[in-house]
Chain A
Amino acid sequence: MLYALCFLLFMIGLYCAVVKKNMVKIVVGILIMEYAVNLFLVMLGFRTGGIAPIIDKTQFDAETGRIAASFINSSVDPLPQALVLTAIVISLGSLALMISLCIRTYEKYGTFDITEIRRLRG
């Protein structure tokens, strides 16, 4: 169910990026898509009633000396969080680039409307 909502958010972003005529709105649409995917990744690692995936001394099994099975079964998956952190940094980079392109284009053309920015054709 939650995944479906995530997908809905993704589609809203895609719609916004494809349909809108304003450059800034296109950038916002792309960001919505980006966050929908990030949300999806975080939700993959989520576990109801999970514990933080930090290993300390209490988590070791006394007999075998290994990490206790109960810890493995109840801790949330830390990997998607690392993935999302990386993805957020990358999206920060592309966001900065897109915004600076928008500003530059506005300086040159005096408008954000992509239907009026059409020198390249054919």
Chain B
Amino acid sequence: MKGMTIIVKTISSWVKVLIILFGIYIILFGHLTPGGGFAGGVILASSYVLLMLAFGGEFVKKDLPLSLVSKLDCLGAFMFILIALLGLVFGGVFFANFLFEKYGQPLHLLSAGTIPFSNIAIGLKVGASLFLVIYSLSICCKAGELDSH
């Protein structure tokens, strides 16, 4: 993959910022507005897929080391289970919402207890793993087999 023309490259590197910002917004406000970790993660992954299409696979490899992405992937999943286990420790029940005070308040990011944190974890996991799946399938799966969990 060599990448596309200079116009596409320039525009997509501008648009990238907006897409990533939008993805982060969807993840952070997942408990207040429609969306959440999964949708936001897909948007984050799609921004890098766009870059990959515009600049070619080699650029992404330089810009974003794959081992870091797969570590982020594992970190997301691990955080999610950690939150659930913390619920077991502090709330007495697995997945208990131990920070819970009241239901999500509009415009209050830190409401609804552990849900925003879970959303961040899922966003990391989904974004990283979806990007890895698409990337590894596109380059004739160098590490493709193992990423589909």
Among the 9-residue stretches A16-24, A71-79, A90-98, the one with 4 or more Cβ atoms under 8 Å from chain B is A90-98
Give chain A residues whose Cβ lies under 8 Å from the Cβ of B140.
103, 107
The interface size of chain A toward B, counting residues with CB under 8 Å, comes to: 11
Give chain A residues whose Cβ lies under 8 Å from the Cβ of B144.
96, 100, 103-104
A93 to B147, CA, bound (A): 9
* Option from A93, A99, A107 in Cβ contact (under 8 Å) with B149: A93
A104 to B143, CA, bound (A): 11
Nearest-CB residue, chain B, relative to A103: B141
The B interface, classified by DSSP as helix, strand, loop or mixed, is: helix
* Chain B: number of interface residues, binned into ranges: 10 to 19
* Option from A93, A103, A104, A107 in Cβ contact (under 8 Å) with B148: A93
CB of A77, distance to nearest CB on chain B (Å)? 19
In the complex, whether A101 has a CB less than 8 A from a CB of chain B is yes
Contact with B along A49-74 (1 / 0, CB 8 A): 00000000000000000000000000
Which residues does A use to contact B, with CB under 8 Å? 89, 93-94, 96-97, 99-101, 103-104, 107
